[in-house]
């Protein structure tokens, strides 16, 4: 196995840090070799707040992954999340010189640069420029303009950007270990790579990745990314709500949420209670099930409603045909698909990474969607351009960031 | 103190069991009866009544009555209630003999067919004429059995409702919920039989079992009293460490309870907790507190408890109630709880209350066990009857006392609670997000729990 076939995805989440090791096969399939994880500390709402602690946790997770997959990890793809991440759509334009009318690679690169010549806040840096469609002399829907004849090349890009220093923090945390950072990927974009099939992307789909600290979303219409972003609300908030509402410690609330919680109201007996037991089995407090569910329901409903208002600022949600795909740790809450379906008025599914071989138990856990998605993203980028290309893009994206 | 009361009330009751007969009418009725017998019933006589000789012969009941020797010639009625009616009229004398001498008669019948729908009302009528109290357990057919049968069943049910003192109605469709989808159809019918058997046995036990806080006919009828209402019934038994909780949960899971949701609409709830000598006060307390969450604050809870050596380690809960139709709930809410003394002092103001007096009064007349003569006189109770009843409360003061207390307290508390404004003393905090950057969207700090921001009380 040559080292270049090895891809490692690292997600520094709010509740856990997860490292997925995979290898690409010559036939283009991806195989998961091992998954390492460690509980996360020093991370709030998807951003590192305690550098030293977070670094230790990342180290733990990486060591765990190395042991489980029996490989040396040298470089990783890192997912970033956080409420600071924003996006917009922009069109770039290039006029071909008089003496030439065939579009070449350089023109495509130029139009991309042109599309990024927009003002974003000074402290922000570009994370992704994702091509939607090209237009050649006003002709719509061109997918690959190279080799076509025309005088004017335009391109629609979806541009994702975030606060430079915060992205740098994540990168630095990994670099100090020391590991090389191959690329930094917005987490919802990574998740979408494995959660959605190409067909679903074409039909139009909204991927909602509800993790511990953030809720990231990405919306595909006609196979192209149209909208994306992040809300700094996640499972942690739910746990916090439960802890405050029922007056129980956070650890207890977390356990209660994962083991008993549901966001469906009116589905339990009136007065039905859950007996909280501590580690020694001593029966402590009694908690009314409906109360617990109400707290979870209210938080999730609010999150979804906020998300709906956010995506409805642009018209693309109306063209979503395949529905909503919920993934991430919080998608394990009972009944979340019904709630999402009710609010967005379209079919909602809880999904996990699809069509991968190897450790299927890991694949089928929605908690790992992002980390596995990183592998697929990396694979796609590598196939697109050989290694040299990646460093080039990377160098361009993050020049001055290291 | 508990020890003392147990000592003097226990032997007294066991010596004189109330004569009870359980009658199964029609094939469904005798199936249910067989189930009652197989599950064990030594405190009542069982009688099978049917037109179909074949079905009758296979019944395990001790006493059997064949209906309509000349009208059906030992065959079934072929689903014709008219034929069932004719057959019952023809054999009226035999039925009368069979049910004679019982103070209380349970009639089990499957409505919708010929014998059950046709004969059960006649049996009920004969029993009432003989001076017995009649409680009918009727099953309604599955909806897939057709509209005709459903109509026949409804017809028979309304007639039974007029005649019997109380009707407990089981909808077979609901039984279906209890059976796994892959289970055979016989299991679905079996479940219906089992539920009936459970109800019959627990009501018989309820009345026969010597109680510390005894439940009598009057309490039973208070709980079941409703015109065309639905009866709720739940029974649970457990011998685990947490048996009080488990038994109640099981009782609430009964299909007739609709997961306990229906209880919240009931005006009267009768609860009997029975257990071996090891049953503790705190267990009963836990159980009643838990049950209290399922009912409204002004629901009258009639509570009884009994200690039975045969129960061993087990603890059982029986919940009986009925959903009155809307108007009668209103009537009961405005009138004071129908405790004995109050009924006597107050002239019944509305027609439904006359019914109440009638039923509980006839029930009460049977209450003092030693005298059988009163029982015979009871059924035709004219309006002035209440005045005769004055001595009755004196006989059972220990039972009534706790009940009255229970009724009186909750409504008062409720009123106070409802009027009091709840002040939010809790300072608005952000919990674990205290030190992180606030997430402010649309002017709201999303780190503060949603229920606090929306001012929804969760407790």
Residues 6+ apart with CB under 8 A from B57: none
pLDDT of residue A391: 41
Q: Which of B428, B438, B446, B456 to mutate against chain A (most A CBs within 10 Å)?
A: B446
What are the chain B neighbours of A307 within 8 Å (beta carbons)?
Answer: none
CB contact under 8 A, B259 and A302: no
**Alpha carbon of A101 to those of A107, A115, B128, B445: distances in Å?**
11, 21, 105, 55
Nearest CA in chain A to B296: A270
Top pLDDT among A387 and A180 is at A180
Of B140, B218, B144, B135, give the one whose Cα is nearest residue B185: B144
As a whole number of angstroms, the distance between CA A163 and CA A85 comes to 7
DSSP structural state of residue B67: -
**Which residue's structure tokens are 């838990």?**
B290
* Beta-bridge partner residues of B66: B50
DSSP structural state of residue A262: B
As a whole number of angstroms, the distance between CA B103 and CA B363 comes to 10
CB contact under 8 A, A241 and B449: yes
**Alpha carbon of A245 to those of A250, A335, B296, B438, B446: distances in Å?**
11, 21, 24, 19, 15
Of B252, B431, B436, the CB nearest to A45: B436
Residues 6+ apart with CB under 8 A from A62: A10, A19, A36, A73, A76, A177, A179
CB contact under 8 A, B432 and A236: yes
Nearest CA of chain B to the CA of A314: how many Å? 17
Of A270, A271, A298, the CB nearest to B450: A298
Nearest CA of chain B to the CA of A181: how many Å? 27
CB contact under 8 A, A243 and B431: yes
As a whole number of angstroms, the distance between CA B33 and CA B39 comes to 10
Helix (H) or strand (E) holding A166: helix A164-175
Top pLDDT among A206 and B42 is at A206
Tokens of A257: 């949420």
DSSP structural state of residue A139: E
pLDDT of residue A340: 93
pLDDT of residue B225: 64
Could you give the residue range(s) of every CATH 3.30.1490.110 domain in chain A?
86-164
Interior angle at CA A240, CA A238 and CA A244, nearest 5: 120
Q: Is there a contact between B116 and B87 (Cβ–Cβ < 8 Å)?
A: no
Strands B45-50 and B20-25: parallel
Confidence of residue A395 (pLDDT cuts 50, 70, 90): very low
What are the chain B neighbours of A301 within 8 Å (beta carbons)?
Answer: 450
The SS3 of residue A325 is strand
Top pLDDT among B327 and A230 is at A230
* Beta-bridge partner residues of A325: A207, A349
Does the ipTM exceed 0.85? no
**CB count in 10 Å sphere of residue A344:** 21
pLDDT of residue A191: 92
Q: Tens digit of pLDDT for each residue in A129-182?
A: 888 889 988 888 888 888 888 888 999 999 999 999 989 989 998 998 888 999
What whole-number percentage of chain B has pLDDT above 90? 0
CB contact under 8 A, A295 and B451: yes
pLDDT of residue A402: 33
Residue A213 burial (C-beta neighbours within 10 Å; 0-12, 13-18, 19+): buried
Of A245, A270, A306, the CB nearest to B458: A245
CATH topology match: B17-208 vs B211-420:
no
Strands B133-140 and B166-171: parallel
**Alpha carbon of A35 to those of A38, A66, A77, B125, B200: distances in Å?**
10, 9, 14, 76, 59
pLDDT higher than threshold 70 for residue A326: yes
Q: Is there a contact between A244 and B429 (Cβ–Cβ < 8 Å)?
A: yes
Of A245, A269, A306, the CB nearest to B451: A245
pLDDT higher than threshold 80 for residue A382: no
Quick check: bond before A178 cis, omega within 30? yes
As a whole number of angstroms, the distance between CA A90 and CA A87 comes to 10
CB contact under 8 A, B454 and A270: no
pLDDT of residue B397: 41
Q: Where is average pLDDT lowest: A87-91, A129-133, B113-117, B320-324?
A: B320-324
Q: Where is average pLDDT lowest: A162-171, A176-185, A380-389, B31-40?
A: A380-389
As a whole number of angstroms, the distance between CA B267 and CA B407 comes to 11
What are the chain A neighbours of B456 within 8 Å (beta carbons)?
Answer: 294, 298
Of B432, B452, B459, the CB nearest to A250: B432
CB contact under 8 A, B260 and A271: yes
Tokens of B431: 């919990």
Interior angle at CA A320, CA A316 and CA A323, nearest 5: 140
**Three-class SS of B342-395:** HHHHCCCCCHHHHHHHHHHHHHHHHCCCCCHHHHHHCCCCCCCHHHHHCCHHHH
**Alpha carbon of A10 to those of A23, A361, A383: distances in Å?**
15, 18, 20
Top pLDDT among A308 and B375 is at A308
**Three-class SS of B68-105:** CCCCCCCCCCCCCHHHHHHHHHHCHHHHHHHHCCCCEE
Of B263, B264, B456, the CB nearest to A298: B456
pLDDT of residue B167: 81
Tokens of B177: 């919920």
Of B278, B272, B271, B283, give the one whose Cα is nearest residue B311: B278
Interior angle at CA A308, CA A307 and CA A314, nearest 5: 105
pLDDT of residue A199: 92
**CB count in 10 Å sphere of residue B369:** 16
Q: List, as ranges, residues 417-446 from B with C-beta within 8 Å of A.
A: 429-433, 435-437, 439, 441-442, 446
Top pLDDT among B319 and B187 is at B319
pLDDT of residue A225: 93
Average pLDDT (A368-397) is 66
CB contact under 8 A, A298 and B433: no
As a whole number of angstroms, the distance between CA A355 and CA A359 comes to 12
What CATH code is assigned to A86-164?
A: 3.30.1490.110
CB contact under 8 A, B294 and A271: yes
Tokens of A157: 């890009």
As a whole number of angstroms, the distance between CA B299 and CA B231 comes to 15
Interior angle at CA B168, CA B110 and CA B257, nearest 5: 110
Residues 6+ apart with CB under 8 A from A286: A273, A274, A275, A276
CB contact under 8 A, A241 and B290: no
What whole-number percentage of chain A has pLDDT above 70? 90
As a whole number of angstroms, the distance between CA A205 and CA A353 comes to 15
Average pLDDT (B8-36) is 73
Q: Tens digit of pLDDT for each residue in A210-220?
A: 988 899 999 99
CATH of B211-420, one of 3.20.20.70, 3.40.50.720, 3.30.1330.20, 3.40.50.300: 3.30.1330.20
Q: Which of B451, B453, B454, B456 to mutate against chain A (most A CBs within 10 Å)?
A: B451
Query: Is B397 touching A (CB cutoff 8 A)?
Result: no
Nearest CA in chain B to A48: B436
Strands A43-44 and A47-48: antiparallel
What are the chain A neighbours of B431 within 8 Å (beta carbons)?
Answer: 240, 243-244, 250
Nearest CA of chain A to the CA of B88: how many Å? 44
Nearest CA of chain A to the CA of B396: how many Å? 33
pLDDT higher than threshold 80 for residue B362: no
Top pLDDT among B259 and B235 is at B235
Domain ranges of chain B: 17-208, 211-420, 421-459
What are the chain B neighbours of A231 within 8 Å (beta carbons)?
Answer: 439, 441
Helices (H), A79-163: 105-115
Nearest CA of chain B to the CA of A23: how many Å? 38
Of A83, A288, A294, the CB nearest to B439: A83
Hey, what's the torsion of the CAs at B205, B208, B210, B216, to 10 degrees? 100
Nearest CA of chain A to the CA of B97: how many Å? 47
As a whole number of angstroms, the distance between CA B171 and CA B154 comes to 11
pLDDT higher than threshold 50 for residue B13: no
B440 dihedral zone (left: phi>0; alpha: psi -120 to 50; beta): beta
CATH of A198-353, one of 3.40.140.10, 3.30.420.40, 3.40.190.10, 2.60.40.10: 3.30.420.40
Q: Tens digit of pLDDT for each residue in A26-55?
A: 777 888 888 998 999 888 888 888 889 999
Could you give the residue range(s) of every CATH 3.30.420.40 domain in chain A?
198-353
Of A336, A321, A338, give the one whose Cα is nearest residue A366: A336
Count Cα neighbours of A259 within 13 Å in the Cβ-side half-sphere. Answer: 10
Of A269, A266, A290, A289, give the one whose Cα is nearest residue B262: A269
Q: Which of B431, B442, B456 to mutate against chain A (most A CBs within 10 Å)?
A: B431
A vs B: CB pairs below 8 A: 86
Q: Is there a contact between B71 and B90 (Cβ–Cβ < 8 Å)?
A: yes
CB contact under 8 A, A288 and B459: yes
pLDDT higher than threshold 60 for residue B435: yes
**CB count in 10 Å sphere of residue B6:** 15
Of A83, A241, A243, the CB nearest to B451: A241
Tokens of A345: 């008025």
pLDDT higher than threshold 60 for residue B375: no
What is the fold, at CATH topology level, of the domain defined by B17-208? Rossmann fold (3.40.50)
**Which residue's structure tokens are 């809960």?**
B317
Nearest CA of chain B to the CA of A102: how many Å? 48
Q: What is the largest CA-CA distance in chain A?
A: 85
């Amino acid at each position: 196995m040559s080292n270049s076939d090895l891809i490692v995805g690292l997600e520094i989440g709010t509740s856990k840090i997860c490292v997925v090791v995979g290898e690409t096969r010559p036939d283009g399939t991806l195989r998961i070799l091992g998954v390492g994880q460690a509980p996360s500390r020093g991370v709030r709402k998807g951003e590192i707040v305690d550098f030293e602690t977070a670094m230790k946790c990342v180290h733990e997770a990486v060591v765990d992954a190395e042991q489980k997959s029996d490989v040396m990890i040298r470089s990783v793809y890192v997912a970033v999340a956080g409420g600071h991440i924003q996006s917009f759509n922009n069109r770039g334009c290039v006029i071909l010189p008089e003496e030439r009318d065939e579009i070449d690679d350089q023109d495509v690169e130029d139009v991309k640069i042109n599309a990024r010549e927009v003002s974003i806040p000074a402290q922000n840096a570009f994370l992704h420029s994702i091509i939607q469609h090209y237009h050649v002399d006003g002709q719509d829907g061109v997918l690959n303009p190279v080799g076509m004849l025309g005088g004017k090349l335009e391109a629609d890009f979806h541009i994702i950007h975030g606060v430079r220093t915060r992205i740098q923090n994540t990168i630095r945390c990994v670099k100090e270990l020391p590991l090389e950072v191959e690329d930094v990927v917005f987490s919802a974009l990574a998740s979408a790579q494995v959660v959605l099939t190409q067909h679903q992307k074409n039909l139009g789909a909204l991927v909602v990745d509800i993790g511990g600290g953030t809720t990231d979303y990405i919306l595909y219409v006609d196979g192209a990314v149209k909208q994306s972003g992040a809300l700094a609300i996640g499972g942690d908030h739910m746990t916090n709500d439960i802890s405050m509402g029922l007056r129980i410690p956070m650890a207890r609330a977390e356990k209660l949420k994962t083991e008993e919680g549901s966001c469906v109201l009116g589905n339990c007996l009136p007065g039905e209670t859950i007996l909280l037991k501590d580690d020694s089995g001593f029966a402590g407090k009694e908690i009314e099930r409906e109360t617990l569910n109400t707290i979870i329901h209210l938080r999730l409903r609010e999150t979804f409603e906020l998300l709906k208002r956010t995506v409805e600022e642009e018209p693309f949600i109306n063209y979503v045909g395949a529905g909503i795909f919920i993934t991430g740790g919080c998608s394990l809450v009972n009944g979340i698909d019904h709630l999402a379906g009710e609010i967005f008025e379209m079919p909602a599914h809880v999904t996990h990474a699809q069509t991968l071989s190897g450790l299927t138990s890991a694949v089928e856990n929605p908690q790992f969607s992002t980390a596995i998605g990183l592998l697929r993203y990396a694979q796609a980028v590598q196939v697109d351009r050989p290694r040299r290309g990646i460093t080039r893009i990377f160098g361009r994206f993050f020049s001055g960031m290291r | 103190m508990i020890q003392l009361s147990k000592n003097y009330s226990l032997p007294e009751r066991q010596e004189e069991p109330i004569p009870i007969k359980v009658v199964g009418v029609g094939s469904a009725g005798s199936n249910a009866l067989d189930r009652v017998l197989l599950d064990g019933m030594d405190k009542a006589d069982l009688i099978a009544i049917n037109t179909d000789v074949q079905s009758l012969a296979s019944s395990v009941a001790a006493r059997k009555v064949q209906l309509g020797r000349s009208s059906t010639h030992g065959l079934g009625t072929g689903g014709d209630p008219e034929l069932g009616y004719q057959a019952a009229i023809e054999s009226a004398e035999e039925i009368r003999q069979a049910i004679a001498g019982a103070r209380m008669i349970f009639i089990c019948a499957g409505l919708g067919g010929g014998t059950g729908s046709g004969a059960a009302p006649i049996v009920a009528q004969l029993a009432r004429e003989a001076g017995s109290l009649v409680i009918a357990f009727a099953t309604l057919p599955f909806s897939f059995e057709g509209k005709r049968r459903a109509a026949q069943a409804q017809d028979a049910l309304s007639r039974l409702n007029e005649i019997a003192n109380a009707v407990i109605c089981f909808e077979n469709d609901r039984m279906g919920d209890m059976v796994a989808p892959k289970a055979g159809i016989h299991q679905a019918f079996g479940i219906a039989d089992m539920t009936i058997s459970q109800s019959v046995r627990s009501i018989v036990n309820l009345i026969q079992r010597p109680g510390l806080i005894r439940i009598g006919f009057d309490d039973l009828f208070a709980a079941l009293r409703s015109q065309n209402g639905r009866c709720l019934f739940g029974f649970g038994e457990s011998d685990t460490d947490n048996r009080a909780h488990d038994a109640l949960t099981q009782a609430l899971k009964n299909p007739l309870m609709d997961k306990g949701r229906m209880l919240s609409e009931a005006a009267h709830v009768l609860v009997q907790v029975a257990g071996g000598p090891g049953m503790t006060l705190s267990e009963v307390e836990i159980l009643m507190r838990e049950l209290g969450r399922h009912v409204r604050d002004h629901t009258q809870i009639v509570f009884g408890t009994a200690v039975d050596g045969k129960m061993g380690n087990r603890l059982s809960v029986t919940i009986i109630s009925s959903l009155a139709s809307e108007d009668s709930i209103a009537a009961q809410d405005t009138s004071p709880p129908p405790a004995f003394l109050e009924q006597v002092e107050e002239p019944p103001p509305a027609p439904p209350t006359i019914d109440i007096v009638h039923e509980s009064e006839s029930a009460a007349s049977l209450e003092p066990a030693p005298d059988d003569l009163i029982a015979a006189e009871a059924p035709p109770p004219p309006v002035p009857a209440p005045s005769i009843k004055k001595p009755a409360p004196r006989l059972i003061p220990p039972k009534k006392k706790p009940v009255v207390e229970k009724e009186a307290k909750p409504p008062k508390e409720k009123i106070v609670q409802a009027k009091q404004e709840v002040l939010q003393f809790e300072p608005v905090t952000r919990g674990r997000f205290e030190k992180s950057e606030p997430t402010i969207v649309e002017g709201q700090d999303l780190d503060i729990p949603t229920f606090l921001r929306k001012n929804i009380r969760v407790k």
